[in-house]
């Protein structure tokens, strides 16, 4: 008897309906319209077949009656035991397919499945269902400042806060959702506010505060079709974000439409310009290097254009140059104007100004300008500050600002030394390219300065 034939016999006589499934899981049966099973199911079911087959062969090869009786008794038990193992494994595989590996919450696939199920129940039983969409406020700043491992720790801590609010899911990035079957709009908003408050006082790996915003919508009862539920909750979340953050907002049909992307971009740009203008005015009013920022912004913009960056990028870099030293507002005036060498303590204080400037700009939502200001004293060789970033890990905007700032400082009088000639400053920048400065950025400045020189033999 051939193995395939024996397998079919086992499938029919020992475990009807189990091993037959295994033998039909081939390309021929798939072509006939059969269902191909997951690989784990095939492998474990084949193991059942092998175990039972081994026991039958052993029994057939012996004339010892007790052994034959034991074989007949053990074969079904072994098959059932292995089949139970298969079932547990398949349940575990299915569970993992619906789970976010970082937080242990349900993933987006699980969310969509449960949302459809809960909506069906709400339709059939007439009970409300509240959906809560949650987004961590300014999460990008946590990743940028502390790194992605710390960011992952923050996500896990937020997930722990959500587990006590309802059935929680992580949809991706810093976006989460709660499903609250049986909760009306009032109860759902109260739960969302409790979750937001719990996150606010949570213990996070970077030691700082984390806040989140939430939007809620209830079905039925909000004049929202079930297919638009997620989009409507997102609209409520958007308005929570734009009304101070760290709060929850319920959709009740009275929310204005979400602005389109172009309108939001225009509003953000105007807010950024207003914030930067205010800070630049504060620097000027302090008497601190009144024209330095403007000159750095102009030089940086010309280098950015020389490097082929887009118009929007160029203007943002110009803006960053104007406010690059805003953090020095927090430093003592006698340190900034000291004519002699700084002490070690004074030097450390001065080196904090990029981080202070970042905090001031970031609080106003002025990214990427804030990030460029934070890193505009990082060196190409990794020996700069505040994070000792090296090479292309330093944002390009920051690398451009560093060269522009150095060139302007060298070519203008300082409290501790007179100005250098332009050619001397360019020679120094060329010498430090590849160690202190990005060589490509230095080359852009050299090309820009050369283009500004009058041609040889031109009339004076």
Residues 151 and 284 in one domain: no
Does residue 412 have a pLDDT over 90? no
Task: Provide the pairing of β-strand 248-250 with 212-219.
Answer: parallel
Residues 253 and 326 in one domain: no
Residues 220 and 319 in one domain: no
Contact criterion met (CB below 8 Å) for 297 and 318: yes
State the total domains in the chain: 3
Indicate whether 88 belongs to any domain.
yes
Does residue 443 have a pLDDT over 90? yes
Written as six digits, the tokens of 245 are 């953050």
Confidence band of 21 (pLDDT split at 50, 70, 90):
very low
Residues 301 and 237 in one domain: no
Which of these three, 97, 125, 152, is where a domain ends? 97
Residues 295 and 444 in one domain: yes
Does residue 396 have a pLDDT over 90? yes
The kind and range of the H/E element at 334 are helix 333-336
Assign residue 145 the CATH number of its domain: 3.30.70.270
Contact criterion met (CB below 8 Å) for 89 and 63: no
Which range, 24-28, 42-46, 246-250, 336-340, is most confident? 246-250
**Block residue for tokens 């398949």:** 90
Local structure of 102: helix, strand or coil: coil
- Characterise 457 by phi-psi region: left (phi > 0), alpha (psi -120 to 50), beta (else): left
Indicate whether 151 belongs to any domain.
yes
Contact criterion met (CB below 8 Å) for 457 and 315: no
Indicate whether 272 belongs to any domain.
yes
**Block residue for tokens 């280098």:** 303
Higher pLDDT, 145 or 185: 185
Residues 322 and 198 in one domain: no
Indicate whether 328 belongs to any domain.
yes
Indicate whether 326 belongs to any domain.
yes
Residues 277 and 315 in one domain: yes
Mean pLDDT, the chain, as a whole number? 74
Does residue 337 have a pLDDT over 80? no
Q: 357: closest CA among 297, 431, 279?
A: 279
Residues 252 and 270 in one domain: no
User: What pLDDT shows up at residue 413?
Assistant: 74
Q: To the nearest whole percent, how much of the chain has pLDDT over 90?
A: 22
- In tens, the pLDDT along 132-166 reads 999 998 888 887 778 888 888 899 899 888 877 66
Written as six digits, the tokens of 127 are 């009970």
Taking only Cα atoms into account, the Rg of the chain, rounded to an integer number of angstroms, comes to 34
- In tens, the pLDDT along 186-213 reads 899 999 999 999 999 888 888 788 899 9
Indicate whether 164 belongs to any domain.
yes
User: What pLDDT shows up at residue 390?
Assistant: 93
Residues 293 and 417 in one domain: yes
Residues 69 and 203 in one domain: no
Higher pLDDT, 329 or 245: 245
Contact criterion met (CB below 8 Å) for 390 and 438: no
Which of these three, 57, 76, 97, is where a domain ends? 97
Indicate whether 460 belongs to any domain.
no
Which of these three, 257, 285, 304, is where a domain ends? 257
Does residue 16 have a pLDDT over 80? no
Q: What angle do helix axes 311-322 and 261-286 make, rounded to 10 degrees?
A: 30
User: What pLDDT shows up at residue 403?
Assistant: 95
Assign residue 318 the CATH number of its domain: 1.10.3210.10
CB count in 10 Å sphere of residue 373: 30
- In tens, the pLDDT along 262-300 reads 445 555 555 555 566 566 666 655 555 557 778 888 899
What domain range includes position 145? 108-257
Q: Does the pTM exceed 0.85?
A: no
Residues 328 and 243 in one domain: no
Confidence band of 98 (pLDDT split at 50, 70, 90):
low
Indicate whether 457 belongs to any domain.
no
Confidence band of 65 (pLDDT split at 50, 70, 90):
low
User: What pLDDT shows up at residue 431?
Assistant: 95
Spatial distance between the Cα atoms of 290 and 151, rounded to a whole number of angstroms: 38
Residues 147 and 293 in one domain: no
Written as six digits, the tokens of 164 are 């006590």
């Amino acid at each position: 008897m051939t193995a395939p034939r024996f397998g079919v016999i086992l499938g029919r006589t020992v475990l009807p309906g189990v091993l037959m499934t295994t033998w039909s899981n081939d390309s021929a049966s798939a072509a006939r319209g059969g269902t191909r099973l997951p690989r784990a199911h095939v492998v474990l079911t084949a193991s059942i077949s092998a175990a039972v087959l081994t026991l039958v062969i052993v029994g057939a090869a012996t004339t010892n009656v007790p052994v034959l009786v034991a074989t007949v008794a053990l074969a079904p038990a072994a098959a059932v035991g292995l089949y139970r193992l298969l079932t547990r494994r398949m349940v575990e595989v299915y569970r993992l397919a619906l789970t976010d590996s970082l937080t242990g919450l349900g993933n987006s696939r699980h969310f969509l499945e449960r949302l459809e199920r809960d909506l069906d129940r709400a339709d059939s039983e007439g009970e409300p269902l509240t959906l809560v969409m949650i987004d961590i406020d300014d999460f990008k700043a946590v990743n940028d400042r502390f790194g992605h491992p710390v960011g992952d720790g923050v996500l896990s801590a937020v997930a722990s806060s959500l587990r006590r609010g309802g059935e929680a899911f992580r949809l991706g990035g810093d976006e989460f959702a709660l499903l609250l079957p049986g909760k009306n709009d009032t109860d759902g908003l109260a739960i969302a506010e409790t979750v937001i408050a719990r996150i606010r006082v949570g213990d996070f790996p970077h030691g700082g505060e984390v806040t989140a915003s939430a939007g809620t919508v209830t079905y039925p009862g909000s004049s929202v079709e079930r297919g638009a539920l997620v989009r409507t909750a997102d609209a409520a979340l958007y308005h929570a974000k734009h009304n101070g953050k760290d709060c929850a907002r319920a959709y009740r049909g009275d929310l204005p439409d979400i602005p389109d992307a172009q309108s939001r971009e225009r509003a953000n740009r105007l807010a950024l310009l207003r914030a930067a203008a205010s800070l630049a005015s504060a620097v000027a009013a302090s008497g601190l290097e009144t024209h330095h920022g403007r000159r750095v912004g102009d030089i940086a913009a010309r280098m950015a254009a020389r490097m082929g960056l887009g118009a929007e990028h160029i203007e943002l870099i110009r803006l960053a140059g104007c406010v690059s030293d805003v953090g020095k507002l927090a430093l003592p005036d006698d340190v900034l104007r000291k004519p002699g060498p700084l002490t070690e303590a004074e030097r450390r204080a001065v080196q904090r100004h990029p981080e202070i400037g970042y905090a001031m700009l970031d609080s106003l939502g002025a990214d990427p300008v804030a990030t460029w200001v934070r890193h505009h004293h990082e060196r190409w060789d990794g020996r700069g500050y505040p994070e000792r970033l090296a090479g292309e890990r330093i944002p390009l905007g920051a690398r451009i600002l560093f060269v522009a700032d150095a060139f302007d400082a060298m070519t203008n009088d300082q409290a501790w030394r007179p100005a250098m000639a332009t050619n001397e400053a360019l020679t120094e920048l060329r010498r430090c390219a590849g160690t202190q400065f990005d060589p490509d950025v230095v080359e852009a400045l050299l090309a820009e300065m050369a283009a500004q020189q009058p041609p040889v033999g031109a009339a004076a």
